[in-house]
Amino acid sequence: MGLEDDKGNLWLGAKEGMMYFNRTTGSFDCFKHEAFNFNSLSSNIIYTIAKDASNNLWIGTDNGLNYYNVNTKKWKHYFHSKTNTNSLPGVEVFDAFVRKDGNILLGTNGSVCSFNPVSEKFETKYNNENIKQLRTNNYLTVFESSDGSLWLSTSSTGILHVTGSFQVLHSFNFSDGFNAGSVHQFVEDAGKNIWMATTKGLYRWNNSTSDFTIFNSAAWGMDGDIKSVVIDNENKVWISTSSGIMKIAFKSENEISTVKKFDESDGLQGNAFNNFAGIKLKSGELFFGGINGFNVFNPAALVSNNYIPQVRILAFKVFDKELKFERGIDSIVLINLDYKQNYFTFEMGALSFDHPEKNQFAYQLEGFDKEMVFCGTNRIAGYTNIPPGNYVLHIIASNNDGVWNTEGLRINLSIVPPFWKTNLFRANDADAAYSWNLLTLFLRIRKIKREEKIEE
């Protein structure tokens, strides 16, 4: 994780201690736990770093809460004690957030709590009835929104929205629209909506309706573990994952228009990023920390590829056997298949060669699909058991920066029914049935006349 100080330099936490990165000089100062030295970190495993109004640090570790005075270079430690109910309620401090009143909101493996740095007293489930009523769980992530209310994420029982005094406003679990295991990071946008990077996609809580919107489409690559979420100065949403960073733009409140993906080939430290390791700096730059280091960049300075790619179909296969076309596949406007050829696949292409592996695709078999099927960077798609009929295969594609050719390519597709289901066969069948009925009637009349003659 990372934290910016008042000078624009960065404090960095990891599993091997803490570092201070001077961005002007490019130098690093390292801070580690030193055995028998109480004026050092209590542990090298750093979960969180928070900064108070005096620019001093509150550091959560796997062995208590640490306070570091950056001017005096002095350390203080606060530990959990089984015999002292007024101590830190858990051994591990997973998250720390400095509240507007100067108190420190803490998420621990024992409970959530609030710490007053002046009186050095912890407000915990042992001395606060409201906290006592909250779920017993590991509290992994804590956040104070602009209205003073608190957001708390547990490790396995959902999230809580509480007042500043820990009275429950909303409780969200697997039956309340929140289906993720936990939240790695909360962030608030300009509309006071709360965005959440979760273990199962990106969530947004609407401040006006108190409803969740979930963005977890596999086609966009957002269905897995979202490590961090950051909102830039242009209100664009950025997320980090185990496979890179994504910039998300919306065409409406609940509908994504483009997703631009960045990975190691774009200069990132690697594809895998850490939980709760994304922040927006005062300069407007974004910071994301990963397993091999960190990246800092100005999103406004990134150059976009605005080229709209032409869309092509590169191959068409029936039962995995590629069809050959007399004038080439690029020239086809109609594909005729018989009713036995209703299992087919096709390969899509986009003529944009700047990181072509990042081109994205979507398709729709008009007359069969109700809407476009987005398949991300996967170029192969197919259908099985399509009933006879006339269809249009519509393919669209984007370049590496998510600029789409929405007109795309359209190919007519006709699946001919078996002869016994054709209109001609049905007409002949009807004629045959009519003739048979006439013959039956004629024979019956003749039989009746014969019987009448015999009676005479």
Which CATH number fits the domain that encloses residue 329? 2.60.40.10
Residue type, 232: D
CA–CA gap between residue 102 and residue 127 (Å, rounded)? 20
- What is the per-residue pLDDT for 453? 64
The CATH number of residue 155's host domain is: 2.130.10.10
Angle, alpha carbons 282-283-285 (nearest 5°): 100
Structure tokens at 29: 């100062």
Q: Are residues 328 and 269 in the same domain?
A: no
Number of domains comprising the chain: 3
What are the pLDDT digits (tens) for 67-111? 999 999 999 999 999 999 889 999 999 999 999 999 999 999 999
pTM over 0.95? The answer is no
Domain edge (last residue) among 301, 328, 360: 301
Q: What is the pLDDT of residue 23?
A: 95
Q: Is residue 11 part of a domain?
A: yes
Low-confidence ranges of the chain (pLDDT < 70): 175-176, 419-443, 445-456
**H or E segment to which residue 450 belongs:** helix 423-455
Indicate the helix (H) or strand (E) that contains 413: strand 404-416
Q: What is the pLDDT of residues 127-153, one digit of tens each?
A: 999 999 998 889 999 999 999 999 999
For the chain, give the percent of residues with pLDDT over 70. Answer: 91
pLDDT at residue number 219: 72
Q: What is the pLDDT of residue 437?
A: 59
Looking at the DSSP assignment, which residues form a beta bridge with residue 258? Answer: 249
Q: Residue 306: inside a domain, yes or no?
A: no
For residue 121, what are its two tokens? 């007293």
For residues 283 and 390, membership in a common domain is answered with no
Are 130 and 107 within one domain? yes
Amino acid at 253: E
Supply the pLDDT for residue 443. 63
Residue 67 and residue 101 in one domain: yes
Among candidate residues 75, 53, 74, 52, the one with its CA nearest the CA of residue 64 = 75
DSSP string across 116-162:
ETTTTEEE-TTT-HHHHTS--S-EEEEEE-TTS-EEEEESSS-EEEE
Please tell me the predicted confidence (pLDDT) of residue 454. Answer: 59
Spatial separation of the C-alpha atoms in residues 245 and 238, rounded to whole Å: 7
**411 and 388 in one domain?**
yes
The last residue of one of the domains, among 279, 301, 323, is 301
| Residue range(s) defining the domain that contains residue 432 | 420-455
Residue 135 to residue 133: CA distance in whole angstroms: 7
Q: What is the pLDDT of residue 406?
A: 94
| DSSP label of 264 | G
